[in-house]
Amino acid sequence: MLPMIREPRTQATVLDQAFAVLLALLETVPTFIGGNELATVLRTAITHRLKAERASSAVISKAAKNIPTKTMFPVVVELWKSLQNEDETVSRLY
């Protein structure tokens, strides 16, 4: 039986397992990951960074190393803009 099936289900282990799947995808088929998928992966890694820091950092690092620049750069620019807009919206609420 697989070790991940025998482990108790906690949010941390589920996140680590999910990030392990994303990491494997980024490693094996990086050229088949488009901008929309990459944006979702990076946003997920950023969102869950505090809960699974090591795993999310590994995913971000692997994406930076394996995804072609012509795909990565526009996604990072748009993601940066959206995160700044979210930050400004939250700041206005307080």
DSSP letters, 28-53, are: H-GGG--HHHHHHHHHHHHHTTTTSH
Sign of the Cα torsion 6, 10, 14, 19 reads negative
| pLDDT attached to residue 64 | 95
**Residue 85: band (very low, low, confident or very high) from pLDDT cuts 50, 70, 90:** confident
- Fill in the DSSP letter of residue 7: S
| pLDDT attached to residue 83 | 85
pTM above 0.75, yes or no: yes
Residue 41 contacts residue 71 (beta carbons within 8 Å): no
Sign of the Cα torsion 52, 72, 78, 41 reads negative
Res 6 pLDDT > 80: no
* Torsion-angle region of 70 (φ positive above 0: left; ψ -120 to 50: alpha; else: beta): alpha
